[in-house]
Homo-oligomer: A and B are copies of this chain.
Amino acid sequence: MNEKLLEQGRKAREAARFLSTASTSLKNEALIAMARALKEGSDEILAANAVDMENGKKQGLTAALLDRLLLTQQRIEDMADGVESVASLPDPVGEVIKMWRRPNGLQVGRMRVPLGVVGIIYESRPNVTADAASLCLKTGNAIILRGGEEAINSNRVIARICAEAVKSCNIPPGAIQFVDSEDREVVVDLMRMSDYLDVLIPRGGPGLKKVVQDNASVPVIMTGMGNCHTYVDEFADLDMAVDITINAKTQRPSVCNATETLLVHEKIAAEFLPTAAAGLLERGVELRGCEKTRQILPEIKAAADEDWSTEYLDLILAIRVVDSIEEAMSHIHQYGTGHTEAIITRDYNNSRQFLAGVDAAAVFVNTSTRFTDGFQFGFGAEMGISTQKLHARGPMGLEELTTIKFIIYGNGQLRS
């Protein structure tokens, strides 16, 4: 186990103890100091980012990845504004969710409290550093950040600026810490630091997920794997279905809530598919269809079996014609990742059957899968989108960064 990391763990635990009872005013003051320091430090951040960008180009990162890595004056201001907006959100810590009285007079309640120490492993976008640090600070958690190697220079500066700002408000320095190492062994050590980490949130692709599953001994919240489907029912409003399909696929194809497979009921396939395909092709989407789809759209590529389980994150859409809502739902359960699934229908019973029967973090009627997002849900913040069932499922806001403790007010009750 890496000694420096263990020391960070100890400092984080100490800071978490302090933060667990820190006042909302103090936490907000620190958030505002962080926002100010990020704006003031923008030159330094841009200089560090330029080094990352240069390394990235040398290493041949794709244009999309370079864009995720790039910081500009505007992006730094957006990042700082994001931190400031977290200050204005309600503090969930200390909320007594429910309190009830037992026959013996005990008053039993559930109180929301911080998780403690949160670890996060993330890739690419350096703004995650400030986002995650601000959400954890607001919820009274200490955070240990481990960003991607490609962004290490940007992340290092952003984390230092945030940590210094927080320290200037007399919050212990363990509150925000950055794992400044390119050694991959350290990542595995982080996953096994059960004594110091209350939860680890990996944000990345299937590679990271596998490493975490194989190595983690700390509790984990898995995020972001999204093989999402839109199912156009036989009773769909077809104009609406075309608009939603195009939005779900093309509005931002690189993210986890974009639709990857379109399921179409055979009764409306001949009418729906040509219009939908025209709109999609016009926006540069490559279509890959099942046999029945290609009878209607003979010009498109055939979908292979692996297409059904691929999260393209790109302008590619797989299309399958199904003979019933049941077939649509079993396709979703066979190939989906339990992220977001949508039905387009005017039929009352089918909408209810789909909502009740589909097992996913988010199940929608008559809207775009792209809406699975903390900001779109009204949380005002997002720490990632959980695709597991334990603790948090779907977009994680501030509440998902807390746990509860039971409190009891007694006056001498004994158990008999």
Which residues of A does B touch, CB under 8 Å? 17, 20-21, 94, 100, 102, 106, 108, 111, 113, 115-116, 194, 198-199, 213-214, 217, 219-221, 237, 240, 243-244, 247, 251, 333, 355-357, 359-368, 370-372, 376-378, 388-391, 393-395, 403-416
Q: With a CB–CB cut-off of 8 A, which chain B residues contact A356?
A: 20-21, 94
* CB contact under 8 A between A391 and B394, given known A360-B405, A366-B410: no
Contact A413 B371 (CB under 8 A): yes
Q: State how many angstroms separate the Cβ of A329 from the closest Cβ of chain B.
A: 9
User: Do the beta carbons of A406 and B106 come within 8 Å of each other?
Assistant: no
Max chain B Cβ within 10 angstroms of own Cβ: one of A21, A94, A198, A391: A391
| A366 cross-chain contacts in B, Cβ below 8 A | 409-413
Contact A389 B199 (CB under 8 A): yes
Contact B102 A367 (CB under 8 A): no
**Residue from A115, A356, A389, A394 with most neighbouring chain B CB atoms (10 Å):** A389
Q: How many copies does the complex hold?
A: 2
Instruction: Please indicate the chain B residues that have their CB under 8 angstroms from the CB of A214 in the complex.
Output: 217
Q: Tell me the bound Cα distance from A146 to B411 in angstroms.
A: 41
CB distance from A220 to the nearest CB of B (A): 7
**Given known contacts A94-B356, A217-B214, is B393 in contact with A404 (CB within 8 Å)?**
yes
- Determine whether the beta carbon of B391 is less than 8 Å from that of A406: no
A87 to B360 alpha-carbon distance, docked (Å): 27
A214–B191 Cα gap in the complex (Å)? 12
Q: Contact at A415–B113, with CB atoms within 8 Å?
A: no
| Residues on the B chain within 8 Å of A244, using CB | 412, 414
**What's the minimum C-beta distance from A168 to chain B, rounded to whole angstroms?**
25
Contact residue among B377, B391, B412 (Cβ-Cβ distance under 8 Å from A391) = B391
> What 11 additional pairs, Cβ within 8 angstroms, besides A219-B388, A371-B415, A390-B391?
A20-B356, A102-B376, A108-B378, A359-B405, A365-B407, A367-B412, A368-B413, A389-B403, A393-B405, A393-B406, A394-B406
Indicate if the CB atoms of A408 and B194 lie closer than 8 Å: no
CB-based nearest B residue for A213: B217
Q: Is the CB of A406 within 8 A of B377?
A: yes
Nearest opposing residue in chain B for A198, CB measure? B389
Is A415's CB under 8 angstroms from B219's CB? no
Measured in the bound complex, the distance between the Cα atoms of B416 and A81 in whole Å is 21
Q: Nearest CB to that of A346 among chain B residues? A: B411
A17 contacts across to B, CB distance below 8 A: 333, 359
A406 to B: closest C-beta gap in Å: 4
Q: How far is the CA of A411 from the CA of B241 in the complex (A)?
A: 11
A409 CA / B20 CA spacing, docked (Å): 37
